Every structure is written in C-alpha cells, then in structure tokens.
Amino acid sequence: MPSDVAVHVVDDDVAVRKSLAFLLASEGLPVRLHESASAFLQDVSGIEAGCIVTDVRMPGIDGIAFIRRLKERGIALPVIVMTGHADVPMAVEAMKEGAVDFLEKPFGDEAFLATVRQALLRQERSSHQGAQAVQVQARFEGLSERERQVLDGLVAGKANKVIAYNLGISPRTVEIYRANVMAKMQAKSLSELVRLALQIEARSTAP
C-alpha cells in the first residue's frame, strides 16, 4: 500500500474516533483522525489517496455538506457515511451526492473493514486509471499536426486511400504516418489506437 494512503475518520465523538482508529490500526491500515469536517478541510494538504469515513450527523458541517465541500475542493476520495437508523434518509441523500456506501450503526468490525477495503480498492483503481489517462494524453500531444489528421481519419473508419486523397498525400505516406502514430501512442493494434483516441475525445468533451 502506498505510503500516502490513509483512512480518514471524521467524527465529533472522540470515543468513536479512537475505537475505529484501533480497529483500523490492528488491521495494518494507516488512519488519520479528524474531530470535524471543518478540521479535515483545514488540513487537506498532501491528501491524495485513501478514503474518508464520516458521520452523517455532525455539528457545523454535516456529512452531506461535507461531501459537497469535498467536490468543490476537487478532493475525489471515496466517502463512506456512518449513520444511525433515523438518519438513513440522510445517508441515501449523501450517496446521491457522491458517497460510495453507508454503514448503519451499530455495525460489526468485519462489515466496517470490508467496506473500507472496498473503498480503498476503488480509489486505487481510479488513481491508476487517472495516471493512465494522463500518459495517453501526453502521447497524443506528442503527435504532429499531420499525424493527428491521419489519426482522425482512422478513428472515422476511413481507408488509407481515402485519408490520402483527403490530405493530398500518397497512400504510402499515410502508411508511414499511421505507423508513426501507432508507435507514439504505444498502440499494438488499430482497435487499441481507436480506443485510446476515443478516450481522449471523451475527456476533452467532459464537463
């Protein structure tokens, strides 16, 4: 597990914080404790990996408002909400805001640990995909203008001869550009090249 990964427990009840910290530490999971959502938000420097476990009902910033603040700050850690039975509707609302799961009190140790591990796995996969996307974007930006034109033609499903005619170059030259694009994008097949190009297009048009 990377050294910067931690389970962030956000709860105004000191007994709950200590109990969950002991449980997480006994399983070898790094943990950081925060007495409130405000305390977490005031100390977010260097927080890039892990997950957040938060009570839904807290003084000041409650769990739902906390999730909204996290999104505003661009903090994409998975959030698990802890709730009492009467607060289940709030937990459901929190999930609509982006929480990945909720635990209804009282919950067992194994259920808690399983939910945390699932959130950590989700975050790890998300980080890996994000890193891959950055790498693919960097490769794309390394293409020349002509190489991008050829790539556009390939993604549109056009044959080499058609791309050559549209660009005013020979089919053989298109083949050379196509080979260069494949090499620069590190694509082993045309289908993989098209998939990578579509990923870049999707990211560029995402809100």
In a domain, residue 164? The reply is yes
Q: Which tens digit of pLDDT belongs to each residue from 50-59?
A: 899 999 989 9
Domain that holds residue 67: 5-127
In a domain, residue 29? The reply is yes
Whether residue 71 sits in one domain with residue 34 = yes
pTM of the model: 0.65
CATH of the domain at 42: 3.40.50.2300
Q: Which tens digit of pLDDT belongs to each residue from 85-94?
A: 777 788 888 8
pLDDT at 1: 46
Nearest to 81 by CA among 94, 62, 96, 65: 94
Residue 48 has pLDDT above 60, yes or no: yes
Whether residue 83 sits in one domain with residue 158 = no
In a domain, residue 171? The reply is yes
CATH of the domain at 174: 1.10.10.10
Task: Tell which of 104, 127, 150 closes a domain.
Answer: 127
Whether residue 152 sits in one domain with residue 123 = no
Percentage of the chain beyond pLDDT 70 is: 93
Q: Say which DSSP state 55 is in.
A: E
Nearest to 80 by CA among 112, 98, 102: 102
Average pLDDT across the chain, whole number: 88
What mean pLDDT is predicted for residues 13-23?
95
**Whole-Å CA distances, 118 to 3, 38, 100, 101, 122:** 18, 26, 10, 10, 6
**Whole-Å CA distances, 62 to 29, 65, 93, 143, 162:** 25, 5, 12, 48, 59
Whether residue 23 sits in one domain with residue 117 = yes
